[in-house]
Chains A and B, each alone.
Chain A
Amino acid sequence: MDTLLQTLKDGLTIGSLYALIALGYTMVYGILKFINFAHSDIVVLGAWLSLVIATAIVKALGLESGQTAPWWVGPFVLACAMLACGIIGFTIERLAYRPLRNAPKLNVLITAIGVSLFLQNTGQLQFMFGTRPQPIPTLLSDKVLFAIGNMQVRLLDLVVIGTALVLMIALEWLVFHTKLGRAMRAVSFDVRTAGLMGINVDRVISITFVIGSSLAAAGGFLWAVSFTSIKQPADTSWVLLGLKAFVAAVVGGIGNVRGAMFGGLAIGLLEVFGQQYINPALKDVYVFAALILVLLVKPGGILGKATVEKV
């Protein structure tokens, strides 16, 4: 029972991270119908920017290593990282994807891969982030808040789940209850018609990229604070994180905002439960096997609608 609760909590924590990142994939796919492979690199960028900013603040405050930073540092770093990544996301869309708006899908995809390679390798340069993992200053104390049985709930877990939840609720509100959200849904439904109805399609797409990238930055930030050090920008673990978030988006029904949240949690739980109860070495296999199974049984994803192609 205790292991079960513990596993459940771990699954929710990692699942909410996947969900945050999956939202970026799903929003871009919903509107532009292409897989933004550079999205996982925005996550990496978010994590590393958080590290750089946090280190600078901690240095300015004159804290010893190992000492926990004041409470406001975390949110401040998060905001900075989200803002910076939002701007970078906007720039990438403007420079790389917009010229290809009417190009074949494969070209856009290759461009995304190019952008991804560019971000990865630029991040690895010595004057950027370098090729070595670096320790991140302690932004949150590691104390146990309460325990149910043997399951310990740490402050960190609550912050990760809480932040992800707040951001997702904010996005849900934005997409389903604002004028901008309605415009986004309209563009995703039919780009041409949306344009004819007076929606500024380019602006909506730009905003989508900004939102997706800042959510990715938030995911990167939460990922960074969950560990004591973060890996170098081109490390395979980042690629895998991005891939799993993408799988989450597809499993939930790609293009569907609620589906991405649901898929993220489902994939997180599946991975952690498989790791705990079946075979820890195969945790990546469960995720990808689930992907293939879901696609074969319900190609549109669990919450997605099956589309019928009309001539």
Chain B
Amino acid sequence: MRSFDVIVIGAGVIGSSVAYHLVKKGLEVALIESGGVASGTSSRCDAVALICDKKPGIDTEIGYASIQLFKQLAKEFSVDFEFSSRGSLYVCETDKELEIAQEYVTQQARDGYDMRMVDRHQLQAIEPYLADDLAGGIWTEVDSSMNPYKLCYAFVEEGKKFGLQVYDYHSVQDISLDEKGKVESVVTDRGTFKTKRVVNCAGVWSPKIAQMVGVHIPIKPRKGMVLISEKTPLKVAGQKVHEFGYMLSKFEDITFKRNVSELVEKHNVAFTIEPTDARNYLVGGHRAFNGYDIRSEMEVMRAIAERAIRFLPVLKDINCIRAYAGVRPWVEDHLPIVSEVEEVPGFYIASGHEGDGISMSPITGRMVAQLITGEPTDFNIDKLNFSRYKQKQQAVI
């Protein structure tokens, strides 16, 4: 029977990064994936690492550290993942939004982050094609972009240089425990692997993996659709541009009403656009609870286009060539789960990043490797511990 120090389940961006960081520590690691590398959410997403869409505190701290790691990896890796630090622009539609944005920026700037308000004239200077009736926005210098599936390929290929073994098209059927309840082996449809440690990086599918050891993970798939533009010589957007109202589509506790159509409201659509290296633009964004269904929905496509031309009228004459959808691993407190599960020694979870998986992948991989080798983690990650859900259940009882 093949035997490994650690088995990582799921070769999306989190699993790929975790596996890479573990082999770099000198451990023998297998990365097991039911499909191919980056065949789930990590190839059906957008392509940015941002701090401007994080909440102040640990969310932003970890996001910032992750971008710094990206910069280092982009230099170290021989595989290119199209990393670029271009900054990002939030746009506020109304003075009310601008007021809320100002409070947010003040708080982030107090914590030392380079985020600043821009007025309506500066908006036009940064993005000449923006509608001319917008109130202002936020510029975030550190925000960056990359190609998400090439990032997964890069982690895997760099990991192989340190001996990473990849078992793609291996579907995990069971995880067996020894008589003391510790992890003993991983059973797949193509053989069994012996190990004392498993890291569950299966994203939206991680609850199914956890069930095999009797653990319930409260992750729900949260769908998002993206439209792709044709290649155009027009510089429609120089970097990520999104409406500040995006924050309200992401966080349920931010409550201000946008002046939007019923269709846009119904599908929780908030405008975002990103340029890609291939000169197409990715236009979103959308959040909905709809199970694991990733079919494209015509109504959502219409809502995204409607909202996009409100902010960038130039898009009216540019073609949409394709639409795709993915499902984000959502948790109610919007913080990823990065910890060992107390009840099942050797069973670790690195999941629940919602839309921040790409963004948070380097720091997540690094901290899981620190946890497993018994080193202190870069951050105090008590808040990311899985036990927070147990405490909550007890509190409810």
Task: Tell me whether A and B are bound partners.
Answer: no
